[in-house]
């Protein structure tokens, strides 16, 4: 099979635990692009955060952000695909979080909003390399389209929250985890699976010609959609079960290994 599109998750996939892209991985990505392969990122991160990573590896293509809710070009920031959390569901989620004392973040017009300056907000901002804006009045924000809404808490508690939210708003939104302590809510069509299907059509290739690489459960839609779904060696066990190939870990240049094997065919 000749592959024409590679969609790569960022955290714990492209990036090592030290939050870097290794020189070897950068070289492999450049070699794939040189062969005419369309390389893109597919991340839960917001666009400004993902853009910084894309610049590190010298990509100049549309990238998939906010779990698949936004596909935007890097150079001129043209929006190609966009989905927002339905207004009624967004309000219900905000009320639920307020009633249950949950930390909630809103993403409006590529800006990260929190109700108050807290350690959760600071830790998230440090990881994503994006500042947050404190806005105590979420009521005025919720009237605008939210690309994504994110809760931060203990992993076990968020598992319970996900179960409680399913009958409340699950018919209108997509609920997933990007990390054990991040529970994210997007539009039903704001998944990485929907986004790579859009990207394949956009560049004129079939889904059989797509490789998707990820490590967390929020990657499962694109791994199931792509012709070759790849789980990282450090991926969740249930993601490995549905993947067609399991590569090395993020600290062992797992992405480079996939490119070497399936694109460059040097291993």
Which of 81, 65, 78, 44 lies closest to 198, judged by CA? Answer: 81
Point out the catalytic residue in the list 9, 12, 153, 219: 9
- Is 42 within 8 Å of 9 (Cβ atoms)? yes
Distance CA 214, CA 220 (A): 8
Distance CA 40, CA 47 (A): 13
What does residue 41 show for φ and ψ, rounded to 5 degrees? -100, 145
110 in active site: no
Residues near 144 by Cβ (< 8 Å), separated by ≥ 6? 108, 109
What does residue 238 show for φ and ψ, rounded to 5 degrees? -70, -25
Q: List residues with catalytic annotation.
A: 9
């Amino acid at each position: 099979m000749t592959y024409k599109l590679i969609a790569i998750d960022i955290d714990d996939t492209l990036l090592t635990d030290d939050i870097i892209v290794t020189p070897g991985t950068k070289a492999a990505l450049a070699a794939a692009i040189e062969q005419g392969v369309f390389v893109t990122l597919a991340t839960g991160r917001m666009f400004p955060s993902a853009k910084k990573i894309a610049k590190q590896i010298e990509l100049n293509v549309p990238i998939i952000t906010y779990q698949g809710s936004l596909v935007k070009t890097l150079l001129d920031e043209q929006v190609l695909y966009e989905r927002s959390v339905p207004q009624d569901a967004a309000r219900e989620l905000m009320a639920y979080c307020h009633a249950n004392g949950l930390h909630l973040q809103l993403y409006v017009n590529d800006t990260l909003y929190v109700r108050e300056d807290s350690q959760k907000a600071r830790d998230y901002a440090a990881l994503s390399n994006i500042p947050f804006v404190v806005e105590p009045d979420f009521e005025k924000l919720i009237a605008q389209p939210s690309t994504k809404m994110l809760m931060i808490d203990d992993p076990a508690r968020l598992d319970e929250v996900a179960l409680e939210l399913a009958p409340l708003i699950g018919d209108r939104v997509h609920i997933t985890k990007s990390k054990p302590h991040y529970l994210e809510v997007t539009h039903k069509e704001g998944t990485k699976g929907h986004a790579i299907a859009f990207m394949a059509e956009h560049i004129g290739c079939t889904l059989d010609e797509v490789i998707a690489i990820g490590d967390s459960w929020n990657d499962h839609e694109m791994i199931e959609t792509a012709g070759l779904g790849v789980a990282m060696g450090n991926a969740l066990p249930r993601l490995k079960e549905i993947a067609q190939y399991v590569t090395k870990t993020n600290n062992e240049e797992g992405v480079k290994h996939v490119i070497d094997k399936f694109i460059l065919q040097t291993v």
